[in-house]
Structure 1
Amino acid sequence: MTEVLAVAAVLGSGVTAGVLFAVALSVLPALFAMDNGTYVHAHQLLGRNWDPTMPVIVLSSTLADGVLAVAADGAARPLFAAAAVLLLGVSGVSHLCNVPINRRVKAITDPAVIPPDWQDPRPLWRRWHYLRTALAVVALVLNGAALAVI
């Protein structure tokens, strides 16, 4: 049973890291190349299907790692524990940093009319996104290492 749960943790953290890496590699540069109105419209469209899918994947993987941190033996235990903490960090950065920015962008009702006091959230959003991407990639590496030593 430990092996099955470990594979699930690797898959979940792999999907998380892969999605976040793809956004960092391709989506973010595209969003930065857009004028403000086009960016707002694109951001609103891109954000539609992330919830609840990504939170479920991240939190399920975190839970699997947490269970494995208790159930696994030997060298795998601290690796799963560290991966759980990192994935919890991914979730925390997402919910506390990126999601509030997303809400501000989604609140713009007409992307063709950006308020004059609007501050472009892209640089801040990118910094938080890079942090959660790094956390997810390290969690994936740890989960892979833990699976290898089970």
Structure 2
Amino acid sequence: MRILMPLALLAGGLAAGGLAVSVLAAPLFTTLPTGMYVPVHQGLVTRFDPFMPISLLSCLLCDLALVVTAPLTAVRVLAALGGLLLAAAMTVSLSKNVPINRWLSTLDPQALPADFASRDPRERWIRWNRVRGALALAALLANVGAAGVLI
């Protein structure tokens, strides 16, 4: 308990911090010319992978352990809620953001597909990144609530 809760809060805080990407990067992404957007996105994503998946998974594992080991029902319930929210964040990441990131990583910024304008993923990526970040932030709040119960 003395180790799991601080680890859950640390990993959850790091994962929720990914929301800053959409707050900071979204305005930049939407204003960049297409030829600059692709390399900037490629550079940014390589710095957040594997940071984000490791943070989400670490927090999820801590929450699952807390569900099993916590001495109080309220802590177990809040940890379970946090775990569900993290699982949802991971699902959004894997099913929505990762495919966009993978596709963009295959592109040559100097030779974009002719139909790139119609396939430009900026708005979708930003929207799903915000959803993922909001879920991670909600999970962090559930874990803070669990920590508060323990205090």
TM-score normalised by length of structure 1:
0.93
- The two structures, once aligned, show a CA RMSD in angstroms of 1.1
Shift of 1:105: 0.8
Q: Deviations for 1:82-138, whole angstroms, at most 9, x for unmatched residues?
A: 0011111111111111000011111112x1222111211011111111111110111
Structure 2 counterpart of 1:101, one-letter code? I
Structure 2 unaligned blocks of 5 or more: none
Separation of aligned partners in 1, 2:27 and 2:58? 29
Quote the offset at 1:49 in angstroms. Answer: 2.3
- The answer to whether the 8 A contact 1:3-1:147 is kept is no
Aligned to 1:12: 11
The one of 91, 100, 115 equivalent to 1:117 is: 115
Q: Determine if contact 1:80/1:146 at 8 Å carries over to the other structure.
A: yes
Distance 1:101 1:132 in 2: 14
Q: What corresponds to 1:126 in structure 2?
A: 126
Output aligned runs, 1:69-88, within 5 Å: 69-72=67-70, 73-88=72-87
| In structure 2, C-alpha distance between the alignment counterparts of 1:94 and 1:68, rounded to whole Å | 24
Q: 5 Å matches for 1:92-111?
A: 92-109=91-108, 111=109
SS of alignment partner, residue 75 of structure 1: helix
8 A contact 2:78–2:146 mirrored in 1: yes
Q: Which residue of 2 aligns with 1:58?
A: 56
Residue-pair matches, total? 147
Question: What code does the residue aligned with 1:29 have?
Answer: P
Distance 1:145 1:135 in 2: 15
Q: CA deviation at 1:21?
A: 2.0
Equivalences for 1:135-146 in 2 at 5 Å? 135-146=135-146
SS at match of 1:126: helix
- Extract structure 1 runs of 4+ deviating beyond 4 A: none
In the alignment, which residue of structure 1 is the partner of 2:149? 149
Amino acid at match of 2:102: R
Q: Which residue of 1 aligns with 2:89?
A: 90
Secondary structure of 2:42's counterpart equals: helix
